[in-house]
């Protein structure tokens, strides 16, 4: 299986680099082979066909990156014919070495090793067929050893390249995963903040509209609650937006939402007409920031759902501090309903928060038909 790098659109610089290697190697190979011919009078004399064979291997390197296997076999044929025709030994082998190294390194392992075997067997077998026996066993084994060393050297570089690419893919996947988790966390925060405060504003606005004509003096607390809830929503939203922008401006921010703000949450919810009772079991103690925030948001979303959807007048929040986990339970006294509760974005978001911490969250009916949310968050 081949692993090739994506080929970018050629630029002036890349074209120059692609031309440089064939050009330089062509000059070196032709000049070196001509010089070797003068020093080896017993070999076939240099002629135009020798130059053509050399140029087939060197010039084809221009297409090495785009068509590696075709260039590989072109150099194999040109080099093999050059050797069997007994031209002088020279730098003709350079193009073949470069092509084999590149193809194996880029992942064309079968083609690279097949080319090594083809040139070696073709050279040794061709000489036997043509009756050329000027090389001894030692020389034949030496050439074979050099080919094997070339192949394994290319394999080492290929393995290194694969490790680098795998590490890059792993980093990219981790970055994408972290970005996805961060988007989910931000979406949950925005949903919890907006849904809670808008629900309170909606309830208080309905109350104010109902009282404004009949008992205008009693509409003032509802309007005040709307003002406070909208102000608090704007503060939290601006805080989240400031984090997204990573700005250093002194935006008004509240402490990270946690169970220490539970009393404030209960008071706000009570102003919407829902009586909330809090029961704590165990010894309260500081919690990890992520778990503390998740616990607060689960309770907040549970109360928001009750205010928005349940025809309830009271809710009970139970918090149990255990040695291994924190257990949250929120019940309401809604009307008698049958069947499992419908899971909307609120319950799904709460379950995602619990699951992200390795915990669980269930939504069931109470014996009276109300909604019961139970979340277990491991410490």
CATH code where residue 365 lies: 3.30.565.10
Last residue of a domain, one of 93, 110, 135: 135
Whole-angstrom distance, CA of residue 250 vs CA of residue 100: 62
289 in Cβ contact with 338 (< 8 Å) = no
Last residue of a domain, one of 135, 154, 172: 135
Decide which of 244 and 369 is more confident. 369
Residue 196 lies in a domain: no
Give yes or no for residue 80 having a pLDDT over 80: yes
Whole-angstrom distance, CA of residue 262 vs CA of residue 185: 20
pLDDT tens-digit readout, 158-188: 889 889 888 888 888 888 888 777 777 777 7
Cα angle for residues 315, 316, 320 (degrees, 5° grid): 155
Last residue of a domain, one of 77, 112, 135: 135
Residue 3 lies in a domain: no
Question: CB under 8 Å to 106, separation ≥6 — which residues?
Answer: 2, 3, 4, 5, 68, 158, 161
pLDDT tens-digit readout, 325-358: 899 999 888 775 666 677 777 788 888 888 888 8
- CA dihedral sign of residues 48, 51, 53, 55: negative
Residue 218 lies in a domain: no
Print the domain residue range for 24: 12-135
Question: CB under 8 Å to 249, separation ≥6 — which residues?
Answer: 242
Number of domains the chain contains: 2
Residue 157 lies in a domain: no
Q: How far is CA 201 from CA 78, 84, 192, 217, 303, in A?
A: 83, 92, 14, 19, 14
Residue 170 lies in a domain: no
Over residues 360-376, the mean pLDDT reads: 86
DSSP annotation of 216? H
Residue 104 lies in a domain: yes
Which candidate, 337, 359, 369, places its Cα nearest to that of 290? 359
Share of the chain above pLDDT 70, in %: 79
Model-level pTM greater than 0.75?
no
Residue 230 lies in a domain: no
Residue 313 lies in a domain: yes
Backbone angles phi, psi at 327, to 5 degrees: -110, 125
């Amino acid at each position: 299986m081949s692993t090739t790098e994506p080929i970018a659109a050629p630029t002036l610089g890349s074209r120059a680099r692609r031309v440089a290697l064939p050009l330089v190697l062509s000059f070196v190979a032709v000049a070196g082979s001509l010089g070797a011919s003068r020093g080896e009078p017993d070999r076939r004399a240099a002629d135009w066909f020798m130059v053509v064979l050399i140029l087939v291997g060197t010039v084809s390197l221009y297409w090495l990156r785009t068509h590696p296997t075709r260039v590989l076999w072109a150099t194999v044929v040109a080099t093999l014919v050059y050797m069997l025709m007994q031209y002088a030994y020279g730098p003709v082998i350079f193009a073949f070495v470069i092509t084999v190294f590149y193809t194996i390194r880029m992942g064309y392992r079968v083609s690279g090793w097949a080319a090594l075997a083809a040139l070696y067997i073709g050279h040794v077998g061709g000489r036997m067929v043509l009756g050329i026996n000027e090389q001894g066993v030692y020389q034949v084994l030496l050439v074979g050893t050099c080919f094997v060393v070339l192949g394994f050297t290319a394999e080492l570089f290929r393995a290194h390249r694969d490790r680098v690419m795998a590490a890059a893919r792993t980093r990219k996947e981790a970055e994408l995963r972290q970005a996805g988790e961060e988007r989910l966390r931000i979406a949950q925060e925005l949903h919890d903040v907006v849904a809670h405060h808008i629900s309170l504003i909606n309830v208080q606005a309905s109350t104010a509209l109902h009282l404004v004509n009949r008992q205008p003096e009693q509409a003032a607390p509802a309007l005040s609650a709307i003002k406070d809830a909208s102000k608090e929503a704007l503060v939290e939203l601006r805080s989240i937006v400031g984090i997204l922008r990573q700005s250093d401006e002194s935006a008004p921010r509240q402490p990270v939402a946690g169970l220490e703000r539970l009393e404030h949450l209960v008071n706000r919810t009570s102003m919407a007409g829902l009586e909330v009772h809090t029961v704590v079991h165990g010894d309260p103690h500081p919690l990890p920031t992520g778990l503390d925030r998740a616990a607060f948001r689960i309770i907040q979303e549970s109360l928001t759902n009750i205010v928005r959807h349940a025809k309830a007048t009271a809710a009970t929040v139970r918090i149990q501090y255990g040695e291994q986990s924190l257990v949250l339970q929120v019940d309401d006294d809604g009307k008698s309903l049958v069947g499992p509760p419908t899971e909307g974005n609120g319950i799904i978001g709460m379950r995602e928060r619990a699951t992200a911490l390795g915990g669980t969250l269930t939504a069931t009916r109470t014996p009276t038909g109300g909604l019961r949310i139970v979340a277990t968050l491991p410490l």
